Amino acid sequence: MIKVANIIRVQGLVQGVGFRPFVYKLALRQNLKGWVENRNDGVLIKAEGDRQAIEKFRDLFIKEAPPASKIVAMEIEESLFEGFDDFHIVRSENISDEVTEICPDIAVCEDCLEDMQTQKNRIAYPFINCTNCGPRFTIIRDLPYDREKTTMHPFKMCSDCHKEYVDILDRRFHAQPVACSVCGPEYELRYNGKTVKELNIILETATELISGGKIIAIKGIGGFFFSCDATNQEAVKRLRTRKNREGKPFAVMFSNIHALQQFAEINEAEKESLLSWRRPIVLLKQKKNLLLM
């Protein structure tokens, strides 16, 4: 077998979407050696191995790329064969003034929703994430995309999170924002001069306040938003007055598409958008004779 080496430059939406872990695993499958790194203008790969294996690698590279990624350009050139012993994810470099596309935040995936009910250190944990989901654009301070250049930098991974981070078979392998209730950010509730830090009490109290017609301010990853019971006409009126928003629709949250269908008419395109990994706000036609304002 003829041994060759390729340098592969990839540009597009290739950071914050699990691209380096994907390349790493694909290279191991093809028994390739070398490295992959983030750069501020994209991803750079050096792959060494049998010519046939590298050709297969390049073919699968396009076909199996992470769902949230978008390859805009890819340059391949022959390189000096150095005889690496293994394949590695190496330290990122900032080598030009060019900037790659930045991944938007990704809705919590089904696997993480399951973890929120089963993993001891992530039960109801609001900042859960993995390679396939979680905050991206909102937490990035600079490129290339690494934890040290995000708002997660002050939060040191606990031993359990680090174990997931370095395990190639784990869904959180090389997930930069990985965190749990032991080591990650925490919520606290401030109400009537009191501060509550127990998550279950926070959720119970917030539910009671909203159900009682109160308006609460919730600090999310990217800022504050106000929340009230959308079926409580008085609460919505007060919110409109405070926001000086007489007619413009508010965003309304639903637990799932089935609950939403009770209140709005949804066509297939709208449904597809609502259930996509982006989970965008979608303007829908409200069903008649409902309390939502």
Residues spanned by CATH 3.90.870.30 within the chain?
104-186
Q: CATH number of the domain at 189-286, out of 2.30.29, 2.30.110, 3.90.870, 1.10.3710?
A: 3.90.870
Fold of 104-186: DHBP synthase (3.90.870)
Q: What pLDDT does residue 119 have?
A: 97
Tens place of pLDDT for every residue, the chain, 293 residues? 679 999 999 999 999 999 999 999 999 999 999 999 999 889 999 999 999 999 999 999 889 999 889 999 999 999 999 999 999 999 888 766 677 888 999 999 999 999 999 999 999 999 999 999 999 999 999 989 999 999 999 999 999 999 999 999 999 999 999 999 999 999 999 998 999 999 889 999 999 999 999 999 999 888 899 999 999 999 999 999 999 998 899 999 999 999 999 999 999 999 999 999 989 999 999 888 765 55
Q: What pLDDT does residue 101 have?
A: 86
Residues spanned by CATH 3.30.70.100 within the chain?
3-89
Closest to 38 measured CA to CA, from 8, 15, 65, 22: 15
Asked: is 3-89 a CATH 3.30.70.100 domain? The reply is yes
Q: What pLDDT does residue 42 have?
A: 92
Q: What pLDDT does residue 97 have?
A: 64
Q: What pLDDT does residue 273 have?
A: 96
Q: What pLDDT does residue 95 have?
A: 66
* Full-model pTM: 0.84
Q: What pLDDT does residue 292 have?
A: 55
Q: What pLDDT does residue 93 have?
A: 80
Q: What pLDDT does residue 2 have?
A: 78
Q: What pLDDT does residue 96 have?
A: 63
